Chain A
Amino acid sequence: MQPFALIRPTTLLAARDRVHEHPRARLFRAGGVDLLDRMKEGLDAPAELIDLRTIADEKSLRGINPDPAGGCQLGALVTLAELAAAAELDAVLREAAGSAATPGIRNLATLGGNLLQRPRCWYYRNVDLVCLKKGGDACLAVTGENKYHAILGGGPSFIVHPSTLAAALLALDASVDIAGDTPRNIPLADLFVGPKQDPTREHSLGPGELLLRVVLPPAPPGRRSAYAVAKEKQSHDWPLVEAAVSLSLATGVMTQVRVVLGHVAPTPWRSREAEAVLENQAPSADLFRKAAAAALAPARPLRHNAYKLPLAQGLLREALHRAADLPLPE
């Protein structure tokens, strides 16, 4: 790791200006979990880290606060552990936050950093190899070891988006508030950049722009939700696939159904196909199976990751059963 200076600004503007001047050499630091990993791996060598945790003049960076439109705001510096423990939040988000990484990491990792972390592809993470994401001319995973890579929406890079919170938040129709020269609120889905648009990046923030908070709209009546994940290890591991669902069961049929799969595509993957199968139907095991099949119908696996098809279907069925409170088969 290269030596660096840790700058601890106290105002939002000072933090943003500092990065804006030299966006390549100066990076925001939130929990630092991903950033320090990248620095230790030799992938990034910033001269300065600008700590967001000392900013004092922007209260909404912290905590879970009511939103004027009726929902709530989640500050970018809220930790995964805080989200997991916030009883007022939907189950899908609490379960997702509480399942990610390890208790130690969850105490440090922040919402903003989680959404903006870089991918785990082992070709990207290997400092000696240069792939498309690092400015090279080919994706090394597509012809190499791609067990953990994308089965949906891939190409020319086949990363899976690493953020667990992204999948859960997308299922809750979240949007994000961005502080920049033009402050704006955009749907969460628009924060993410797919590899077809630009394989070297995963989000759309400009230089010096800062993710301030996530905004959740008010929940429709009778909303229920669930998150399901499979990992090769149950301690200290990353998801193979995850499923996040939310739906409204106020009238006996499912409405406002959101189905999102994580770790299957370069961006968190919303399945409109599955939602169409479920919307306005009464929950049933058979319907859930059909929805799961529909969600994976567009999948195009690589050489070593076709197992993600049945796995994603299994997890999606599990999440739907739990969200709809329909007992899982024995």
Chain B
Amino acid sequence: MADGTRKLKVGFADQLRDIEVALPAGEPQPWDATTKLDVVGKPHPRIEAAAKVTGAARYTHDQRPAGLVHAAVLRCPHPCAVLDALDLEPARGAPGVLAVLAVAKPGDRLLFAGQDVAALAATTPQQAHAALARIAVRYSPQPFVVDTTAAMQPDAPLVHRAQVRERSTEGDEPGTPTGSSQRGNLRMSPSQKKGDVDKGLRQAKVTHEATYSTQAHTHSALETHSIVLRWDSPTSLTAWCSTQGIFSVRDELAEVFGLKPQDVHVITDYMGGGFGAKFGASAPGSRLGFIAGELARQARAPVALLLDRREEHLCTGNRPDSIQQVTLGAAADGSLTAIKVLAHGSGGIGTGAGVGRNAFAIYTKCPNIRVESHDVFTHAGPATAFRAPGHPQGAFAIELALDELAVKLGKDPLELRLAHNEHPVRRHQFELGRKQFDWDNKRKRVADERQRNTRLRHGVGVAASIWGDFGRGKAVVASLSVGRDGSIELRNGLQDIGGGITTVVAQVVAEVLRRPLADIRVRIGTSELGPSVGSGGSNTTSSVTPAVRAAAEAVLQQLRELAGKQLAARRPEDVLWDSKGARVGGKSIAFVDLCKHIAGEAIVATGTRPDTYGAYPSRFMGGNSVAIAGVQFAEVELDTWTGLVRATHVLALHDCGRVMNPLTCRSQITGGIILGTSYALSEQRVMDKRHGVMLNPNLDSYKIAGARDVPAIDVVFTEVHTGANNTGAIGIGEPATIPTAAAIACAVFSAIGTPVRSLPLTPDRVLAALGAIPTAAPARG
């Protein structure tokens, strides 16, 4: 195929149109709205499902290379302390101990409770943990601050004495503004702005101003951070790692130990969740890769470093909290004249407390917008990217503020949103959702119950998401082989973090080669299998499937040529290819028979994905990626006697480009909604301000939604043909969690008529909003 311009039919629902895109040489004709597919887009169960549910799937925690020994890490119990003395010798002599390692050195300032101090390896995990107690360590505790508001005071203990450099991973949203200044514990970041917000507020006839706050939220993946590391020679190693980015692990280990990247072999066969916290060989607040590698070298044995739940909460990242002052202005007719957000949030000792794009880039008909978000340092474990960094907290504040304004304006909150949103897909989703959710009638019932002051109430809310398609060009090289025996094998150094990409790439190969899905073997999960992307920014499917398709098309081309020869076709175009094999006129040859004619062992071809070449219908933040729209409607039940909120129903309408597999796509959206519900109603890291430690580093009092907390979920795919890449896949993992908490908070507001402006929406806060709590000063404490 020559370099050139192609016509594509793109769009959604009944809004289809023709566009032209310039394609690089060799790029297959992109699948668009006119393409009929047989395997892609069909609900195929995960091909690894049986292995997972039977326990045959081996995760990093399950790896037992011969001679494996076990590591444990001594962590600082103080929120801030100078390490005065560290003596590892007593531990060296403890039963079973094979290696000891100082991670901090005397004189170091340790900045959060949970920071690495020392580590050791022993024959059994029990021996390793017991030996930690033998390490002689002395600290001088220093003044500290763990509360975000307190840390903003001028006299607060200073967390960082030097300028902090931003640490970013593949989990961070690309294009997030950088460049900042630091004063005290405050680190100011550039704002997102357009128009003149102050003027907009002066022009306003109706204004609303309030402060919204959200909690710190830990990733709490089911599989904790883990690495099993074995030296294969003095200059090469194998690492099994629970990671979202195999190559980020390889590169970090190569750098830390001064190795060639190709001598670092990383394996992630199965992975138990990451949500943004698992890039690189280390956790954001613990040098796992370094520790495992050093201990393994000393012990002359493979080392397993598997964090426990408490460590997972303390040092592996979190979603920062936020305090957002929102000011809205509107003209008398209800049109917005200004959106202003001033946000502060703490990612502990780390950065990344921005509040995303929601206030800036969804209600774009508002001419004047300014969103500032600043980091506040506290003595707590560092934040890191967490499923749509910044967005759920930003969505909560702006969406609830809009509902409060809508009440002042006497407007339906949905109308207010429609009047200010310009994204055609999102408008379509709002309209579709209004009908399917029965918004108008449900709102009537809500108003009626509120007016009659019933004990049990219903509430409804709606909120939107924005995200970009961050599919990466030139990053993935997929290779596909078809053997003389007819076997088909796709290879790529990709990890399946649970989203289901293994099945989706098999579908793409099956589609192109017209072979049964069960005949496609997918080999992924190790760095040996060729370059791939980390799974961050919801980019996996849109980065990988186009490269896989390109490889498959290249193999098909060669198979057609081979068939042409066998069947004596005059031109390659005369070869017809279908699920049986090849046909030319009346002659045919079955696929397996054709394969027998392959010269040598196999046909092997590679495929890559060019940069994104289209962005229909709208670009994300002016760049060259598709702006992804989503809308969720939530219904809650609320008991005014107990303050208890239950999310009973969420209707989610999402744009995810071409739906490659409705089962895995739905599962991503369902997971996003469950995460969002949990964030809305119960999850919360609780820190003791006087001791500077986390009080709930477990899954007992850190409350993650369970089966009975999950709402009924209806998913509607508003499939969009974007012309972005040759399969049309774009991301969904992150957009799906953005609006859930906001919609639930709006629903609670509608139920009781008073906003609850802090997450999570627990009974204490709801009862306070209901005015049910006696105002007399507390008797104690």
Contact = CB atoms under 8 A, between A and B. Distances in A.
A233 interface: yes
Given A3-B126, A140-B688, A301 B772 contact: no
B703 A233 contact: yes
A232 B767 contact: no
B432 interface: no
B244 to A, nearest CB: 27
B456 interface: yes
B703 A232 contact: yes
Contact of B706 (A234, A302, A317): A234
Contact of A330 (B126, B454, B708, B779): B454
A303 interface: yes
A303 B778 contact: yes
A122 B690 contact: no
A126 B767 CA distance: 29
Given A240-B763, A306-B773, A311 B642 contact: yes
A318 B644 CA distance: 14
Interface string B698-730: 001101011111000000000000000000000
Contacts of A146: 781
A142 B780 contact: yes
Contact of A307 (B456, B688, B703, B768): B768
B695 interface: yes
Contact of A145 (B454, B643, B686): B686
Given A122-B701, A307-B773, A310-B767, A232 B643 contact: no
B121 to A, nearest CB: 19
Nearest to A37: B700
Contact of B690 (A2, A143, A154, A314): A143
A302 B780 contact: yes
Nearest to B701: A122
Central interface residue in A129, A301, A318, by most chain B CB within 10 Å: A301
Chain A, interface SS category: loop
B778 A311 contact: no
A86 B197 CA distance: 67
Chain B, interface SS category: loop
Contacts of A311: 641-643, 763, 767
Nearest to B760: A232
Interface residues of A, number: 46
A144 B709 contact: no
A309 interface: yes
B762 A232 contact: yes
A269 to B, nearest CB: 16
B88 interface: no
B234 interface: no
Contact of A144 (B690, B703, B705): B690
Nearest to B688: A144
B28 interface: no
Contacts of B691: 129, 140, 144
B47 interface: no
Contact of B644 (A126, A143, A230, A329): A230
Contacts of A232: 681-682, 703, 762-763
A145 B707 CA distance: 28
B77 interface: yes
A304 B77 contact: no
Given A234-B708, A236-B706, A317-B641, A145 B767 contact: no
B646 interface: yes
A153 to B, nearest CB: 13
B52 interface: no
Interface string A84-114: 0000000000000000000000000000000
A53 interface: no
Central interface residue in A123, A305, A310, by most chain B CB within 10 Å: A310
A317 B456 CA distance: 14
A315 B778 contact: no
Interface in B405-429: none
B458 to A, nearest CB: 12
Central interface residue in B644, B706, B780, by most chain A CB within 10 Å: B780
Contact of A233 (B455, B696, B705): B705
A237 B704 CA distance: 9
Interface string B155-175: 000000000000000000000
Contacts of B772: 307, 310
Interface in A143-196: 143-147, 154-155
A1 B308 CA distance: 12
A145 B695 contact: yes
B314 to A, nearest CB: 12
A301 B778 contact: yes
A65 interface: no
A230 B639 CA distance: 10
Interface of B: 77, 126, 130, 452, 454-456, 639-644, 646, 681-682, 686, 688-691, 693, 695-696, 700-701, 703, 705-709, 762-764, 767-768, 770, 772-774, 778-781
Given A144-B691, A233-B706, A306-B773, 6 more contacts: A2-B130, A120-B701, A122-B701, A144-B689, A145-B695, A329-B455
Give 9 closest A-B pairs by Cβ, nearest first. Answer: A235-B706, A314-B641, A307-B764, A234-B708, A300-B779, A310-B772, A302-B781, A303-B781, A122-B695
Interface of A: 1-3, 120, 122-123, 126, 128-129, 140, 142-147, 154-155, 230, 232-238, 240, 300-307, 309-311, 313-315, 317-318, 328-330
12 contacts: A128-B77, A142-B780, A144-B690, A232-B762, A236-B700, A236-B706, A237-B706, A310-B773, A311-B643, A311-B763, A314-B639, A329-B455
